[in-house]
Structure 1
Amino acid sequence: MNHCLSLRITWKVCLACLLVTSTAQAGELAETYEAMQENGYSFTGNVTQFGFGVVGGGNDSLPDSLLYSGHGDYLLNVDASKFGLQDGLFFRLRAEHRFGEQLDPANTGSVMPPTIASHLPAETENLYITNLVVTQALSENFALFMGKFDTLDGDRNDFAHGRGVSQFSNLALVTNPAAIVGSPYSSLGAGFAILHDYEPLFVFTIMNPTDTTRTSGFDELFNNGALLTAGLRVPTNFFGKRGHQSFTALYSTQYFSELVPDPRATISKSGKPVTVTLTNKQEGTYAFLYNFDQYLYSDRQGRGFGLFGRVGVGDQSVNPLRLFLSAGIGGHNMLSRSRRNDSFGAGYYYLDATKDASLLTDIATATSEGLRDGQGLELYYNFNICSFMDLTFDYQLIGSASDSSYFEDPTSILGARLNIRL
């Protein structure tokens, strides 16, 4: 296979099925590609800092204080052919850690973190390897991959993704939470990708359903079933503008006897994560996800703005979320030539809670509060300060899914995010 062609193929595969650098802008992707082509490896990273606080509503018995937190993300890509190994063979390593103090769910009423990046990869501040993946491109239309990888980037969207560091901050507008019960944040797995015109078209994975962010994962490998995921992402050209239509189905054979705390979405009591013991234990669960992005305007450099939306359907017998909806607008500032690298977003989400009486009772027993439908709004504007630094101002209005008298009124959250690219 032609070396440059194989590099281009595998780079596209890494973006889609290894779930990594979809947050980068086109120029940054080009720089990374050129670095790999010249040196055989590239290193990128982000250190993101958050200053967020409750400014209205919330729990009146708790102070509306400003809290500082952050997240570090370090990514290494290696082209093995540059070191005398197999053509089309690539390695990818990602390490993450978090630090600081996050907003208390007892004050925000949110079951999903308003700043998801500051909660990942785990509840401790240790550095963890969340991706260690080997990819082999067999042709310009087919590639295999295996290793340990995270699932945060599995629901890519041009305007509502960014791993919580470059676009929206709230998990509900970064990915589709309907899949969280069935899929771990990071674990071992393998799969293949089919490409069309160097873009990922279909990706299939089999993955260990047990989260092994903090371990190698080999001791737990498939001890509790398997997670099967199939995703189709079709490029579109409606009205002469680029976009994507995505469809994903996942099925887990895991045996569910309880719902354990997860940094991506947590059921809590007095702000502390709790385990929900299930009365009706069940083997297996499923979720169906739909996702679209559609540009309304774009320039020759690929910058522009457009619409996005997501729909998620969960198995309400074990999933507290039976239906998820989100929609909004986002992209670059195309009104000012001098601020074209700035970006913005406005998004709304709705959480339709399970109507399964047994699961609702189990949640109420564990939390002493219960669960109801929730919704939220997030607005952000991202100032591109220089080539390696962005400053984002963010506002969120959360209608709590916690069935508590503390959250009869929506909670207002205001904050700033500073992202430094390494």
Structure 2
Amino acid sequence: MSHMEDDMRTFAALPPARGRAFAQTWWGQAWLKALEDTALDTAQLKAGRRLARAGAVGAVSVLPGRITAVVEDRGGATHRSDVLLQCLDEDEWDAFLTMAAARAGHIAALLDRDMPPHLVEDASASGVELLPGIGDLEPRCDCDAWDHCAHTSALSYQLARLLDQDPFVLLLLRGRGERALLDELQVRSTVRAEPEAPRGDREAEGVDAAEAYASAIVLPPLPGPPPLPDEPGLPPSLDTETPPPAGTDVDALGFLGAQAAAEAHRLLADALPPGHEQRAAPPEMTVRQDAVRLASASPVQHIRARLAEVGGRDREGLTLAVRAWEYGGAAALDVLDEEWAPDAEGLARARAVLDAAWDDGERPALKAARGRWSTADGQAQLRLGRDGRWWPYRKQSGRWAPAGPAASDPASALAGALGSADEDG
């Protein structure tokens, strides 16, 4: 692939998207949130969704700062539509590449076509906003609309599907093609791996603290942070000739040791990037939350049974809690466990979002009860989180089960729940 080819990618027209959400990944949903928070005319957004669902968007070209496609409207006329997003400048790219090169996990995630939240958070802590925000998506269309028209909206909805498949599409929009980006990361990773030159004897010996304070001399700089190991360390082996004390669960101890090593590795990886000291510490997990976190990493049934007991859950309840954790961590677990009712203002906002989420006549009948909206057949449900996101649930063996990650769009969330129900059926 030439450098010019790396600076532009063209994707063939996608088939119609009837009955499915446009964005399955959290970063695809963030793209749509930027669109929906920016557009002033919700009617044009709905018209754009209809066009995208019908397969009216042609081949999509993605290049730095711009996406473009030909969109056919309902009358058969075609329009050249573009959506612009500002590229990162050289300083921002330098900060992003420095941050990414310091964490092998970030590079590995991108190569797996994944964009974990902590990658975006670390980039933001370095002063780089990868995902667009309100007003960042600038529409251009030959239909001469002054805001997002149906054509640019359809193009944006279609791009969310492409972002789901490959987050490098977002990075190309921000100004770097996949090949150029990986080449630069490789160079920086190689430089970081080179050993430092040996220091002189005086510097190696250090400076006596009392002498330093007495003479007010300038202390030498602190050594750099430790390098991140490629993988967590191994816990001590419990396979010894001495039998364990009575009642000791050797498997559980080995599991906890491995999990402690993995958590230490994760904490070090989080602490190394620049700007970590300016980030707020996450809230401490409760015992119930930590039991679910540990259970999500253990396939051993008797360990899961002990964790279920510690967390105050039965076996099936723990299975549902683990599923919630895997979809969204502590926030998803709170939605599973909590039953809360929005206040009058929050309820009015939720109803307005629900009314705008579907095209006219397409909204299913929903029965509301304390921040939860269930379908008429009682098989699917939307739960409103305290952060305003919508979580899909479906009925499973008489209990409500998490059916997917949260979405800012309730229609997308409910489509995921209904799709999951169809697969289970």
TM-score by length of 1: 0.24
User: Which of the pair is proportionally richer in helix?
Assistant: 2
Structure index of larger Rg? 2
User: Which of the pair is proportionally richer in strand?
Assistant: 1
TM-score by length of 2: 0.24
